Amino acid sequence: MKQNPADSQTTVSTRTNPWKWIPTLYFAEALPYVTVMTVSTVMYKRLGLSNAEIAFYTSWLYLPWTIKPLWSPFIDLMKSKRWWILVMELLIAASIAGVAFTIPSTHFLWSTLLFFAFMAFCSATHDIAADGFYMLALNPHEQTLYVGIRSTFYRIATIAGGGVLIMLAGALETYTRRVAFSWSVTFYALSAFFALALAYHIFKLPRPACDRTRHTPPGRLLKDFGLTLLSFVQKPHAVTAILFMLLYRLPEALLIKMSNVFLMDPPSAGGLGLSTQEVGFVQGTVGVFGLTLGGIIGGVAAARHGLRRWLWPMVWSITIPDLVYVYLSYFHSTDFLLINVLIFIEQFGYGFGFTAYMLFLLYYSQGEQQTSHYALCTAFMALSMMLPGLIAGELQEAVGYSNFFLIVMACCLVTVGVTALLKIDPEFGKKNRHENATS
């Protein structure tokens, strides 16, 4: 019988040049995430939803990334990481097509949200499988060598999704004068692209001999998870660490749900009145470039001198540039170049300051159960964005954009407060040059 290309039970290891699959795998990992988290907000704004509805509904879509540690141990029980990658990519392509099909319908909101939620679940599962597969398919030296490549293509996918995809929808809006039709075509195109990525991975993903099903009883996995969670909360200064994970990005968690809609809302509603294409360029291209550059420089700085030395400069970097939105909301600049410069500054500051957050997750995860503890840290990271996002829209509608951005600035005091409570080994960061440089 001919072997299925997705079959995970082979014990024969086939060697594939990592350049042939790492870029595409991590491009495919990032694309559904940015579609669910960023593209959906712009789409719903163009389809007429209120800011409160957009923020509330799309914030719930963070939930699969928040709770993915609950089912990640069971990925090993059924099939291989390679099998999970291929199946999740198939389901992601189908869910994207589902969004495209239901956009023009009368009850588009609940039907598209259902497909977005399913896409989010599949994407979170794909993350688990892809990161596990990366470690199984490469030796330790190669893991270090290609970690920058995977991060680079993850960022490129962010630009493709948050920038190019939104600009495509905007161009179709201008050409067809039909908003729902334009977004439907855009999602059909994205689904076709993802189907091609799946077809490519069926033939190009390697088959590591060690990538096979683990026969571990479910009861043992549940017990291990409980022990992992217990050891996580019993670490020194656990309460302080969890507060930091939940509150360090509080200003950004509020801001991120309203930034795109602020740029799109007409001046009469307090926004800047940018077109869909302009928003895609400003946030999805210029903004992502600033975010990436800030993250790279932050990683290099921390690798040279350690996290403790750069912690406070990173705190000021992630908070003070939020003043950009206060300025824009009060003066309503129509200078497109100035808007791009200001968004670049804000995103650069966020990228530089976010490095401290990611390094702290690595710092707190150190120990015998580093992988499991890091997964729990990323769950708190997702939760820190989900909870404030639920109320961001209602808050903005209640007080207006100008006052909303002032509240965001006031929340920066929370970031400063939780950072002041931290206790960090001054040598941490100098020993983790490769990880830091790619955070």
Q: What's phi and psi for 207, nearest 5 deg?
A: -125, 80
Q: From CA 327, how far away is CA 411, in angstroms rounded?
A: 17
Distances (CA, A) of 273 to 264, 279, 321, 396: 5, 10, 22, 17
Cβ neighbours, 10 Å, residue 215: 7
- The DSSP element (H or E) to which 143 belongs, if any, is helix 140-159
Of 300, 296, 273, 251, residue with least CA distance to 404: 251
Token output for 111: 């039907």
- Rounded to two decimals, the pTM is 0.84
- Whole-angstrom CA distances from 83 to 207, 246, 397, 412 are 10, 34, 45, 44
Q: Was domain 220-439 assigned CATH 3.30.70.860?
A: no
pLDDT at 426: 58
In our burial notation (b when 16+ CB lie closer than 10 A, e otherwise), range 84-116 reads: bbbbbbbbbbbbbbbbbbbbeeeebbebbbebb
Q: What share of the chain is helix, strand, coil (3-state, %, to 5)?
A: 80, 0, 20
Residue 252 in contact with residue 411, Cβ under 8 Å? no
Q: What is the pLDDT of residue 166?
A: 95
**Residue 435, pLDDT score:** 42
* 12: helix, strand or coil: coil
Query: Do the domains 15-216 and 220-439 sit in the same CATH topology, yes or no?
Result: yes
Residues 13-43: b if buried by 16+ CB within 10 A, e if exposed? eeeeebeebbbbbbbbbbbbbbbbbbbbbbb
Rounded to 5 degrees, what are φ and ψ at 14? -110, 130
Say if residues 205 and 86 touch (Cβ distance below 8 Å).
yes
Tokens of 161: 């999704």
Tens of pLDDT, residue by residue, the chain (439 residues):
444 444 433 333 456 788 899 999 999 999 999 999 999 999 999 999 999 999 999 999 999 999 888 887 777 677 888 999 999 999 999 999 999 999 999 999 999 999 999 999 999 999 888 888 887 888 877 776 787 678 788 888 988 999 999 999 999 999 999 999 999 999 999 999 999 999 999 999 998 888 776 666 666 767 777 777 888 888 888 999 999 999 999 999 999 999 999 999 999 999 999 999 999 999 989 999 998 899 888 888 887 877 888 899 999 999 999 999 999 999 998 899 999 999 999 999 999 999 889 888 878 887 776 767 887 888 899 999 999 999 999 999 999 999 999 999 999 999 999 999 987 765 554 444 444 444 3
Domain boundaries along the sequence of the chain: 15-216, 220-439
Half-sphere exposure of 45 (CA within 13 A, CB side): 27
CB-based contacts of 197: which residues, under 8 Å, 6+ apart? 24, 27, 28, 89
Question: Tokens representing 427?
Answer: 């040598």
| Domain 15-216 is found in CATH 1.20.1250.20 | yes
